[in-house]
Structure 1
Amino acid sequence: MATVTTKTGQVVDRMVLDSMLRRRLFYTPSFEIYGGVSGLYDYGPPGCAVLNNIVDLWRKHFVLEEDMLEVDCTMLTPHEILKTSGHVEKFADWMCKDPKTGEIFRADHLVEEVLETRLKGDKEARGQKVVVDEEKEAKKKKKSKEAKAVKLDDAVVKEYEEILAQIDNYDGPALEKIITKFDIRNPATDGNLLPPVAFNLMFQTSIGPSSNMPGYLRPETAQGQFLNFQKLLEFNQQSMPFASASIGKSFRNEISPRAGLLRVREFLMAEIEHYVDPESGKKHTRFEEIKDMELSLLPREVQLSGSTKTVSMTIGKAVETGMVDNETLGYFIARIQAFLLRLGVNPKKLRFRQHMANEMAHYAADCWDAELETSYGWIECVGCADRSAYDLTVHKNKTGAPLVVREPRAEPLKVEEWQIDLDKKKFGPRFKKDGKTVEAAIEALSQDFREKLALDLEKQGKIEVDVAGVGSGKVELDKDLIQIEKRTRVENVREYTPNVIEPSFGIGRILYSLMEHVYWSREGDEARGVLSFPPVIAPTKVLIVPLSSNPAFRPLSQHLMMKLRRMGVSNRVDDSSASIGKRYARNDELGTPFGITVDFQSVKDNTFTLRDRDSTKQVRASEDEIAQALKSLVDGEETWEDIRQRLPEFTGQEID
């Protein structure tokens, strides 16, 4: 069975957690009464609340603290933009098909599944204890021969492990070789598969009633930010460096989404584009603040050696040694870790894995993924890429828009260079319709080649230039048409295209991984699940529980409810007939961190008990003291231990 190792070390069937999350309406399959659609989910009230709280914390942690410029760009994107960015040609995964059944597999996931199954079979044959994922097995149409316990040669085991360690590094041809070499087939039918082919993950559509403008639902929020760069730079008073940020839905037509919220076709992204001067060495002014933060790193060299053993290192050391390319990339990696830990992620289940060459996005110069360990394995939840100047450059070249930074130089720069002058009166009639092509080829000549041509022109009175598509591919120019001289040019303004560091967050993936990390159950009562969300992201902060249905409790409950809501503390009243213990248990499943009990003592002196979800400990104090304690707990200014130190502990009633 697929299992979740809880924060208390318990091992729980993943289906138990998933059943609880669906029952409490954190999420549910979309269009379920029509049979559902794979890879599409709806969030219910608690799921929406946690998601919104994660986004709110993200905005405070990044947009507010780093003074970023937030934009909200359209999800519909014309074909031309994504053609220019490279997504039309390169935004693809490799899939293979069973020609008999028509079943489609994502090639790397299939290889991973089959090899892992064989390794489990090898362990069984050697008498070693293994954990079988019953959920996956149940989905197979009939028993696969891959599931048999078969002992493998040690060399084969080693080769399988090496392949799995670098599975993300293989392209289509490499995956085809692996599939052929190890006779990988459809696990359900044992049928042969066609060679892997590239499948573009973007949803195509058309814009306008005439359908003559092809477009896509955006696969990322980044392109809208890049296209607005010049306006954002102007809004920022031409000051560099700066960052833009965007939160919104993106869409990817996943080949075979089979992992719940972790692989979906519509999802919420939060992306940052931090623009830096490439000549600055990508230094960051706040790097000193985070340089001593310890991280668990998995560099590409370790993966290529066939290992997944992480290295514990400070981010300062990682940048100093060149493992992480530069300070700005390192700064955001550290800030990502701080953010995930604030959400409640288990630090022992967090690592940063460096992309290998073949898996690197087409625009990236370096990339590290924040991966969280779940019952599905290690899952990429945040990517932090150095996109260099790729995006701004390709859009600038395509449109001619000035997606550059121009800044005055402290001192004028004198540049000696070989400059070319063309006699336009003679040049036009000489080349006619090919004139622009020839002129562009001449302007593109390097300084070294211009120097050589200047000497040839001086000696021979003419030169030859390669121009593709014109005549024989060579164009002859004489002194009457062209002059090449060395001159001094003075630059008072520096112009450059910024480089971009991009942290990209999959909010849904973070949410699901977090729910696994904070889940546990009471000792001796395994059916009683608890979600230990930190107060800042819990869907409801406080449950107000009248001790009984006594009418004297209702005014106090309603007054508390409204007072807390006006303070910005979300709460709900549960005055049902269930026992107080059951009412708290129901809300432990929802992750509600605190509870207020309204009892007969409350009627007498307006004091209340405040209960902590995880410890079930209680304190008792006045209405104002309880309200202020809750506000500071929810805002993260105090911990439960802080509250216990200053408010009297209460042990008068058992409410577990």
Structure 2
Amino acid sequence: MFQTSIGPSGGLAGYLRPETAQGQFLTFQKLLEFNQQAMPFASASIGKSFRNEISPRSGLMRVREFLMAEIEHFVDPEGGKSHPRFVEVKDVELALLSREVQLGGKTDVEKMSIGKAVSSGLVDNETLGYFLARIQLFLKRLGVDQSKLRFRQHMANEMAHYAADCWDAELLTSYGWVECVGCADRSAYDLTVHAKRTGVPLVVRETRNEPLRIEEWQIDLDKKKFGPRFKKDGKAVEAAVEALTQEQREIFAGELNKDGRIVIDVPGVGNGKVELEKDILEIVKRTRVENIREYTPNVIEPSFGIGRILYSLVEHIYWSRPGDEARGVLSFPPPVAPTKVLLVPLSTNPEFSKLVRRFSHKLRALGISNRIDDTSASIGKRYARNDELGTPLGVTADFQSLKDGSFTLRDRDTMKQVRASEEEIVAAIKSLSEGTEIWEDVAKRLPEFTEQQVD
């Protein structure tokens, strides 16, 4: 935890969380209840985290306070950590930098489908592989340059001691390869540690399809003789007896039958050795029937550094118009662009203003962010300055719009335009903003605007 001081005098120490995940582990039983005791299930959180960064630098790359988004996907370890929807992503191809390649002092990535990576054992299990593929698809949807994305496997000396496997999604920036998303199989470590510290069992209880019959060595203590014999040391001795493994119990059962007594180790009591006679303790082999299965789930955790992803994305999508470096463009995909549409009236005539504002109201009713630029600058300049802000679409209201209600729709990256009715243009903007279509799809079904344009 990152220690800080609280209050004007700074006399009270406080600690800032290094991740958001622990809150999900602490509330595991409540989350399981919300999911109607069904496994597997996942929870997610987003919030501020803090690290004691010695030398904050490089913009959003190294900071003491940052935004994290984390998913905790709880799985049954006996199920092989399979994922019911893995088949949906098994053909997604990833650029993988394995541990073995790194040990050889190289950084050559191997492009491989996630299905092959899991079946070959390179990626530990289906659920981990499922999230690696989903991370790639998510970053692609944001607009991340796929040629500047790789998944690097953690080396043995950098992986947490409890992790079964761990991969980082790294993005190439002007600062080099930067870890932006981590995806780890944290096994059952977190829930086990929290349960041990709090005394609250963080487990899943499931009714077995068929009762499980278990043969085991059980210990019976004669409490009437045991209590007076050991007095204040009774709890320590009893705990040591109950902690005996099945192998030890079997051995001691034989010794009891042969010698009538056993000697067990009990640290802190006498000389550390305690003798127990046959009249106090009995070890018997019995069959126990289990109708309920109880287990601690394992967890697969994708962890997203929002600031680093945002910074890397801006680097990846920034470019300049060919032949004119002063005309910068931010190519935010429509689904993630802060402002989706620029509305441009060709004239300051009140009729144009009324037309554009009506169009704006329609878009806002659909939840599509837009802005009107009715300044006196040329249309080309108005589009250019919004290209720099990443606005992907532009709608122009011209004199033809007053006559027949049609509008032109402009694509930021290609600068190509189509012309259609207001309803068709609104429908196209909606599908582009939701990511169900790309510009090429719209350009195929709506007529191209061929009039000479000033841009």
Q: TM-score range by the shorter chain?
A: over 0.9
Correspondence 1:492 to 2:306 = no
Q: Which has the higher mean CA deviation after the structures are superposed, 529-538 or 300-309?
A: 300-309
Structure 1 residues 494, 268: closer, same or farther in 2, change over 3 A?
A: same
Distance 2:332 2:235 in 1: 64
> After the TM superposition, which residues 106-505 of structure 1 pair with which residues of structure 2 at under 5 Å, given as runs?
202-205=1-4, 215-505=14-304
Structure 1 residues 617, 266: closer, same or farther in 2, change over 3 A?
A: same
Distance 1:371 1:421 in 2: 57
* C-alpha distance after superposition, 1:356-389 (max 9, x if no partner): 1121134422101111111111111111100100
In the alignment, what sits opposite 2:312? 513
Distance 1:433 1:502 in 2: 46
SS for the counterpart of 1:259 is coil
Asked whether the 8 Å contact 2:207–2:293 carries over to 1, the reply is: yes
Distance 1:633 1:452 in 2: 72
Distance 1:407 1:586 in 2: 60
In the alignment, what sits opposite 1:8? none
SS for the counterpart of 1:216 is strand
Distance 1:636 1:362 in 2: 41
> After the TM superposition, which residues 490-639 of structure 1 pair with which residues of structure 2 at under 5 Å, given as runs?
490-639=289-438
Letter of the structure 2 residue corresponding to residue 427 of structure 1: F
> After the TM superposition, which residues 9-48 of structure 1 pair with which residues of structure 2 at under 5 Å, given as runs?
none
Distance 2:408 2:228 in 1: 94
1:588, distance to aligned residue in structure 2 (A): 0.7
Distance 2:210 2:403 in 1: 78
Give TM-score, length-normalised by structure 1: 0.67
Distance 2:54 2:10 in 1: 26
Letter of the structure 1 residue corresponding to residue 166 of structure 2: C
SS for the counterpart of 1:578 is coil
Distance 2:353 2:223 in 1: 91
Asked whether the 8 Å contact 2:202–2:296 carries over to 1, the reply is: yes
In the alignment, what sits opposite 1:47? none
Provide the alpha-carbon RMSD of the alignment. 1.9
Letter of the structure 2 residue corresponding to residue 267 of structure 1: F
SS for the counterpart of 1:247 is strand
In the alignment, what sits opposite 1:36? none
Structure 1 residues 495, 211: closer, same or farther in 2, change over 3 A?
A: farther
Distance 1:414 1:220 in 2: 42
Distance 1:374 1:515 in 2: 10
In structure 1, runs of 5+ residues without a counterpart are: 1-201
Asked whether the 8 Å contact 2:341–2:391 carries over to 1, the reply is: yes
Q: Which structure is higher in helix share? A: 1
Distance 2:7 2:221 in 1: 46
* C-alpha distance after superposition, 1:137-187 (max 9, x if no partner): xxxxxxxxxxxxxxxxxxxxxxxxxxxxxxxxxxxxxxxxxxxxxxxxxxx
Structure 1 residues 206, 405: closer, same or farther in 2, change over 3 A?
A: farther
Distance 2:10 2:258 in 1: 60
Distance 2:7 2:205 in 1: 37
Asked whether the 8 Å contact 2:124–2:164 carries over to 1, the reply is: no
Could you list the runs of 4 or more consecutive aligned residues of structure 1 that deviate by over 6 angstroms after TM superposition?
A: 206-213
* C-alpha distance after superposition, 1:399-422 (max 9, x if no partner): 221211111111111111111112
Structure 1 residues 618, 299: closer, same or farther in 2, change over 3 A?
A: same
SS for the counterpart of 2:289 is strand
Asked whether the 8 Å contact 2:149–2:171 carries over to 1, the reply is: yes
1:251, distance to aligned residue in structure 2 (A): 1.6
SS for the counterpart of 2:350 is coil
Letter of the structure 1 residue corresponding to residue 363 of structure 2: L
Asked whether the 8 Å contact 1:381–1:509 carries over to 2, the reply is: yes
Q: Which structure is higher in strand share? A: 2
SS for the counterpart of 1:652 is coil
Asked whether the 8 Å contact 1:363–1:391 carries over to 2, the reply is: no
1:302, distance to aligned residue in structure 2 (A): 1.0
